[in-house]
């Protein structure tokens, strides 16, 4: 008996010192291109999680690359992360039109974990390349959810709508789901007008098509660098001031470009963060590290993506498994899904101690439960928000999403 206790103590001690070397994780955020407003805050969230992991005993080296909000540069950056830096996982990308080609060209064929904190296209759920491979995950909900809520909210306010959307899997998926939801509730979509993923200097041709039928509202389903141009043009050239927004146009850059007075009271939707203890902890920790948490989308989801990777790495190590992408992938649902003792943001020392003792854990994220289903998807609340007095404020959260 004494010998067993000595062995167990030795194993626990070994586990506590198991990570003298760093484990490499890549990030693929946007610092240039149409989503460049979001990248810096995503990086801060990932670095906060990595710092807290290090304090608890797991050293993660984050290697940051710029997706440029474009598929080809992102694929090249992902190849560098996998082939040169030898990362075991990539947190990113942001745009669905970037995440999908990176997954198909790099992450899935190379057998490297990819967790997007911000790609919401419904296509990701059923991506053929990942069927049976299980390397693509996300910590944000599909737009199969956001589109339903957006259509429901818009139908309460307007009878007709037109949609101007970025022509990629994100914009297409959100626009199509919005149309189904809006029209199911008695509304009518008059026009669905795509625009190129690359930001342009003018969108007057697209606006002319979208506004020809005199809709009650124009849905701006794009990214900040697109929206700040065509919203300003809609106001100045077409005298149109009624807009409905989404996560991609939930932006301080848009407020600066268009003017707070032109956006006052205008509403939108976005994947939200479940308000509660987990969220409050991250808000407090983020404030200590960087200042007030901005009300921009997916910062909490980025923290959660980095956190579950760290927990899965530790779970693999204490089970005596080599730290390979497959072994870490196999632990993701073990640390993120029930059953197990609940672990909140920052409680990584507690989590590591439980894992070292062979206990189950269940990470509850800052954005909501990170309960990965068989497709690597999660469900978090959908936020209804509005622009008011130059700020972005939450109106309410929808936790129960109607099935359509």
The H or E element containing residue 113 is: strand 113-116
Cα–Cα nearest to 303, from 81, 86, 140 = 140
Torsion of CA 10, 13, 18, 21, to 10 degrees: -120
pLDDT of residue 17: 40
Query: Are residues 189 and 122 part of one domain?
Result: no
Does 375 fall in a domain? no
Query: Are residues 113 and 262 part of one domain?
Result: no
Does 340 fall in a domain? yes
Does 196 fall in a domain? yes
Does 374 fall in a domain? no
pLDDT of residue 404: 78
pLDDT of residue 401: 82
Query: Are residues 311 and 247 part of one domain?
Result: no
Does 85 fall in a domain? yes
Say which CATH number the domain at 356 has.
3.40.50.2300
Cα–Cα nearest to 247, from 160, 364, 166 = 166
pLDDT of residue 19: 56
In three-state secondary structure terms, 219 is strand
Q: Distance between CA atoms of 121 and 128, rounded to whole angstroms?
A: 14
Query: Are residues 147 and 135 part of one domain?
Result: no
Q: How confident is the model at residue 282 (pLDDT cuts 50, 70, 90)?
A: very high
- The model's pLDDT over 27-61, given as tens digits with 9 standing for 90+, comes to 999 999 999 999 999 999 999 999 999 999 999 99
pLDDT of residue 16: 46
Cβ 157 vs Cβ 217: under 8 Å: yes
Q: Are strands 267-271 and 382-388 parallel, antiparallel or unpaired?
A: antiparallel
Number of domains in the chain: 2
In whole numbers, what is the pLDDT of the chain averaged over residues? 95
pLDDT of residue 379: 93
Q: Distance between CA atoms of 32 and 101, rounded to whole angstroms?
A: 18
Query: Are residues 126 and 85 part of one domain?
Result: yes
- The model's pLDDT over 84-101, given as tens digits with 9 standing for 90+, comes to 999 999 999 999 999 999
- The model's pLDDT over 221-247, given as tens digits with 9 standing for 90+, comes to 999 999 999 999 999 999 999 999 999
Query: Are residues 231 and 280 part of one domain?
Result: no
Query: Are residues 128 and 169 part of one domain?
Result: no
**Total-model pTM:** 0.94
Query: Are residues 388 and 329 part of one domain?
Result: no
Residue 2 has pLDDT above 50, yes or no: no
Query: Are residues 232 and 111 part of one domain?
Result: no
Does 378 fall in a domain? no
**C-alpha distances in angstroms, 173 versus 126, 191, 218, 391?**
13, 15, 17, 28
Least confident of 4-13, 69-78, 353-362, 393-402: 4-13
What's the length of the chain? 404
Query: Are residues 391 and 257 part of one domain?
Result: yes
pLDDT of residue 365: 97
Cβ 380 vs Cβ 300: under 8 Å: no
Query: Are residues 259 and 170 part of one domain?
Result: yes
Domain carrying residue 182: 143-272+384-398
Q: How confident is the model at residue 20 (pLDDT cuts 50, 70, 90)?
A: low
């Amino acid at each position: 008996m004494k010998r067993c206790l000595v062995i167990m103590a030795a194993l626990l001690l070994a586990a506590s010192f198991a990570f003298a070397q760093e484990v490499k994780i890549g990030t693929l955020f946007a610092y240039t291109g149409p989503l460049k407003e979001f990248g810096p805050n995503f990086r801060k969230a990932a670095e906060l999680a990595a710092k807290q992991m290090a304090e608890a005993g797991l050293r993660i080296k984050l290697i940051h690359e710029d997706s440029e909000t474009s598929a080809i540069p992102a694929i090249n950056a992902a190849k560098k992360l996998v082939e040169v830096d030898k990362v075991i996982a990539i947190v990113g990308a942001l745009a669905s039109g970037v995440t999908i080609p990176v997954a198909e060209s790099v992450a899935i064929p190379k057998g490297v974990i990819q967790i997007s904190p911000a790609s919401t296209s419904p296509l990701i759920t059923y991506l053929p390349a990942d069927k049976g491979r299980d390397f693509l995950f996300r910590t944000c909900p599909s737009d199969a959810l956001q589109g339903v809520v957006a259509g429901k909210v818009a139908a309460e306010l307007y009878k007709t709508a037109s949609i101007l959307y970025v022509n990629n899997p994100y914009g297409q998926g959100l626009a199509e789901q919005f149309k189904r939801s809006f029209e199911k509730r008695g509304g009518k979509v008059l026009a669905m007008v795509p625009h190129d993923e690359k930001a342009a200097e003018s969108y007057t041709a697209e606006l002319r098509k979208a506004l020809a039928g005199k809709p009650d509202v124009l849905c701006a389903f794009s990214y900040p660098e697109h929206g700040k141009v065509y919203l300003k043009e809609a106001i100045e050239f077409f005298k149109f001031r009624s807009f409905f927004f989404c996560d991609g146009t939930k932006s301080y850059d848009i407020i600066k470009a268009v003017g707070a007075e032109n956006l006052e009271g205008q509403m939108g939707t976005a994947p939200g963060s479940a308000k509660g203890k987990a969220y409050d902890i991250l808000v407090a920790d983020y404030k200590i590290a960087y200042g007030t948490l901005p009300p921009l989308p997916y910062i909490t989801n980025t923290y959660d993506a980095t956190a579950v990777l760290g927990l899965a790495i530790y779970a693999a190590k204490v089970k005596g498994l080599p730290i390979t992408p497959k072994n870490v992938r196999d632990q993701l649902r073990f640390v993120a899904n029930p059953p197990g003792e609940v672990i909140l943001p920052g409680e990584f020392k507690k989590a590591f101690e439980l894992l070292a003792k062979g206990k189950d854990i269940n990470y509850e994220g800052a954005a909501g439960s990170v309960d990965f289903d068989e497709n690597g998807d999660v469900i978090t609340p959908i936020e209804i928000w509005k622009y008011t007095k130059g700020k972005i404020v939450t109106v309410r959260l929808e936790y129960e999403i109607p099935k359509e």
